[in-house]
Structures are given as structure tokens and as C-alpha cells.
């Protein structure tokens, strides 16, 4: 288990607990009372730390190397029913954007999401979750197929941004994202969007328009990352914590500003601390969200979705 800098008190207590229990196992000394006391202190410390997280600490949690990624959620929610589909039928198959058909709680979905890697090799293979134009065009092709066969769409957002390379710009990165936003606003099937980690800039918006937009408790959603915001304003990354607060990028901020519809609670310690619990929670939320949308007509879906986005940012004096 890897620990972030603000989680070090938890790490110390966890090590104390493990050592105390091992002493009890290896000798005849009764350490049960000591173990109980350490366990109690551990629970209290966890509650205290995770109850008062800053915006920057939530950004750190969203990037935790043990945090589940898109394919982890797909495997947990769909099991063996997931069939991955490849290619944009134009240029290539972008490995940073995955998608395909799968069943969640017996209901078929077209599932699309950004996928990061677990180690150096897979991170390069997945381009660190930064999709190219062909990734967004693949996503749109799959969503259009879902509309054709009257299947709901489920998207998972987890990206530090769309790939900013020269070749991506040459192939129309901005146009691909803009096209997806336009087409998603008028897609005639239910769209459920979940921000599971990082939701940065247009890279997130390219698959982020939906009837139900939700964020995991320790994810973030913003026009720019705190580091890049800091480098623009202060010419340095040193002010990233200040930038994170100013950007209002947490799930609570997004809910208050009506950018998202709801927040999905994570297990104490983050999604990575109890993956099974997180998977169960998300499966339930996805099913409930679909049940709320399934009886709406295509016209009602599009009208309500359009209305929701047109009302964002409206100021009444």
C-alpha cells in the first residue's frame, strides 16, 4: 500500500498495529488490548484526516497509484459481459480511450472512458490517459451505435487532459472534442457520466455531456490542473495548492455550482482503500440513475439535457 504525504500518520499507526499483532502471534504475550487501542486510534485518525481534506489533497487522492481505473470499474460492473470495440474507422485505435458493450445489473450499456496505465510500460501504451482525436472519434462512433440500437451510454472520465501533441492538433483535436459535445447534447438515449479520477479541461468534456453527471468524492473537475494554473499565474508549480483552492475543482464545489448532479461517496480512505465497496456503490448508483431516465422519451431526454446545460452559468442580479 502506498501512502500520500498527508497519510503518514495513518501509515505509522498501521505499522504499529501490524507489529503488535505479530508479537501476539509469535509469542505468548497477550497484546489484544494494545491492538484494540491502536485500531481505535487508527479509525479516529482516518476519520479526522479524510474529514478535513483540502482541494489539493483530493487532487492527490484522485491520482493515487492504487486507485481503480476505467477498466477496473468495467470489469467489476460488467464481469464477462464486456466486449471491447476498437478504432475510429478513420485513422487508428486510440489506447487511451476504451469503449464497448457491457451489462450492468442485467441492463446493456455502451461504455466509454479514458484509461490510464499501472506502470511505466502501460502508461506509455495508454498515453497516460490523454486521448487523441481518434479516441474522441471512436467514442462518438460508439455513442452513435448506442443511439442506433437504443442503448444507454455510460462514460467514465479520468484524464489529465486531451493529448496536446502536434500530431493531435494536425488531426483536429479541438474539432473532435467540439463535435462530441455537440452530438452528445442531442443523443436520443440516456447518458450517465461519472468522473472517477481526474476531469481536466476539454479532454473530460469530450465524453462529459450527460443527463446524469456524477463525481466520486475524491475526484476533481476543472478547466485546468492546479499545476498548470500555477505555472501560468505564478510561473512556477509552487502555488499549486493555492491554485487548487481557487479553481473550485472538488466534487462539493461542482455540486454547489450545479456543474454536476450528485456526488458518489467513497469508502473511508478513498476508492483504492476498499475497491469492492466502491464497485458495489457505483453499480447501485448507475442502475438507479438509469431507472430514473429509462421512461423518458428521446425528445424529453434531449430537451431536459439541453435545458440543464443552457442554465449553467446564468447569473440573476
Give pTM, 2 decimals. Answer: 0.93
Band of residue 219 on the pLDDT scale cut at 50, 70, 90: very high
Q: So what's the pLDDT on residue 18?
A: 87
Overall average pLDDT of the 255-282 stretch: 95
Reading the block at residue 255, the C-alpha cell is: 455540486
Q: Which three cell numbers stand for residue 220?
A: 476533481
pLDDT at 68 over 80: yes
211: part of which helix (H) or strand (E)? none
**What is the mean pLDDT of the segment spanning 254-270?**
94
Determine the pLDDT at residue 214: 97
Distance from C-alpha of 156 to C-alpha of 176, rounded to nearest angstrom = 18
> Phi and psi for 192 in degrees, rounded to 5?
-115, 125
C-alpha–C-alpha distance, residues 176 and 95, integer Å: 16
Among the listed ranges 15-29, 96-110, 179-193, which one has the minimum average pLDDT value?
15-29
- Among residues 268, 230, 269, the alpha carbon closest in space to that of 249 is found at 230
Of the candidates 79, 50, 122, 100, the one whose C-alpha atom is nearest the C-alpha of residue 271 is 50
Give residue 206's pLDDT.
Answer: 97
The total of other beta-carbon atoms located within 10 Å of residue 148's CB is 10
- What pLDDT, in 10s, does the model give residues 4-55? 999 999 999 989 988 888 887 778 778 788 888 998 999 999 999 999 899 9
Question: Out of 121-125, 144-148, 309-313, which region has the weakest mean confidence (pLDDT)?
Answer: 309-313
Residues 105-124 have pLDDT tens digits of: 999 999 999 999 999 999 99
Amino acid at each position: 500500500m502506498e501512502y500520500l504525504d498527508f497519510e503518514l500518520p495513518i501509515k505509522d499507526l498501521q505499522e504499529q498495529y501490524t507489529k503488535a499483532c505479530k508479537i501476539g502471534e509469535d509469542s505468548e504475550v497477550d497484546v489484544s488490548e494494545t491492538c484494540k487501542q491502536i485500531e481505535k486510534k487508527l479509525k479516529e485518525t482516518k476519520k479526522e484526516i479524510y474529514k478535513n481534506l483540502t482541494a489539493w489533497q483530493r487532487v492527490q487522492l484522485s491520482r493515487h497509484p492504487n486507485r481503480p481505473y476505467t477498466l477496473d470499474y468495467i470489469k467489476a460492473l460488467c464481469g464477462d459481459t464486456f466486449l471491447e470495440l476498437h478504432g475510429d474507422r478513420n485513422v487508428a485505435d486510440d489506447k487511451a480511450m476504451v469503449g464497448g458493450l457491457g451489462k450492468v445489473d442485467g441492463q446493456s450499456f455502451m461504455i466509454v472512458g479514458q484509461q490510464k496505465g499501472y506502470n511505466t510500460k502501460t502508461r506509455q501504451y495508454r498515453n497516460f490517459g490523454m486521448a487523441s482525436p481518434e479516441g474522441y472519434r471512436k467514442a462518438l462512433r460508439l455513442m452513435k451505435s448506442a443511439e442506433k440500437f437504443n442503448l444507454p451510454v455510460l462514460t467514465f472520465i479520468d484524464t489529465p487532459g486531451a493529448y496536446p501533441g502536434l500530431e493531435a492538433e494536425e488531426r483536429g483535436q479541438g474539432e473532435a472534442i467540439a463535435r462530441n459535445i455537440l452530438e452528445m447534447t442531442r443523443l436520443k438515449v440516456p447518458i450517465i457520466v461519472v468522473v472517477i479520477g481526474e476531469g481536466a479541461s476539454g479532454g473530460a468534456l469530450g465524453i462529459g455531456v450527460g443527463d446524469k453527471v456524477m463525481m466520486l468524492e475524491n475526484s476533481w473537475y476543472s478547466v485546468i490542473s492546479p499545476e498548470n494554473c500555477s505555472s501560468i499565474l505564478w510561473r512556477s508549480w509552487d502555488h499549486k495548492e493555492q491554485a487548487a483552492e481557487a479553481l473550485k475543482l472538488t466534487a462539493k464545489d461542482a455540486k454547489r455550482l450545479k456543474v454536476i448532479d450528485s456526488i458518489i461517496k467513497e469508502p473511508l480512505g478513498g476508492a483504492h482503500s476498499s475497491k469492492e465497496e466502491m464497485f458495489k456503490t457505483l453499480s447501485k448508483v448507475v442502475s438507479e440513475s438509469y431507472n430514473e431516465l429509462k421512461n423518458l422519451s428521446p425528445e424529453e431526454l434531449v430537451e431536459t439535457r439541453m435545458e440543464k446545460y443552457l442554465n449553467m452559468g446564468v447569473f440573476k442580479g
